[in-house]
Amino acid sequence: MIFHITSQNHWQKAVELGEYRADSLETEGFIHCSTRQQLIKVANAFYRGQADLVVLCIDPEKLKATVKWEPPAHLSSEEPVEINGLGCGTSSALFPHVYGAINLEAVVSQLRLIPEEEGLFSDSRI
C-alpha cells in the first residue's frame, strides 16, 4: 500500500472526473506518494496546521500508471534530508512516485487526516 495526502475538495473533484491528478503531475511529471512509515513525517513537513485533508490509500497493483521508487527530488543520495526541521534520514530513502493519473479503483480507502491542537499530525489521529 502507498499513500497520498490531498484536500477533501481535491479528492471530491477527482471522484467527479473519474481519476485523481495532483498539480505535481503537470509540474514534475509524477504524483508524490509515501509509505506508511513516511506518511506522518511528510504530513508534518508539508501540511502542518491544515485541516480538511484526506489520505488516499492506494493499492499499487491496481494502478494503471507506473510507480517508481525514487529518492526525494533535487537531492543527491548522500545528502541529509531536513524538511521543516524534521529529520528524515538521508535522501537514499526511496519514495513512491506515480507517473500518471491515479485511477479511482486503485484507491481502496480514504482516511481523514486530522491535526492535533498544535497543528501537527500523529498516527493516533488517522
| Residue pLDDT, tens place only, 70-92 | 998 655 444 444 443 444 444 46
Residue 27: phi and psi, rounded to 5, are -85, -30
- What spatial distance separates the first Cα and last Cα of the chain, rounded to whole Å? 15
Q: β-pairing, 80-83 with 31-32?
A: unpaired
Q: In the prediction, which pLDDT does 92 show?
A: 60
Put simply, whether the predicted model's pTM sits higher than 0.75 gets the answer yes
The total of other beta-carbon atoms located within 10 Å of residue 63's CB is 20
C-alpha cell at 90: 538521508
- Segments of the chain with pLDDT less than 70: 73-92
Dist CA 110 CA 9 (whole Å): 13
2-118 falls under which CATH superfamily?
A: Protein of unknown function DUF952 (3.20.170.20)
Dist CA 51 CA 21 (whole Å): 20
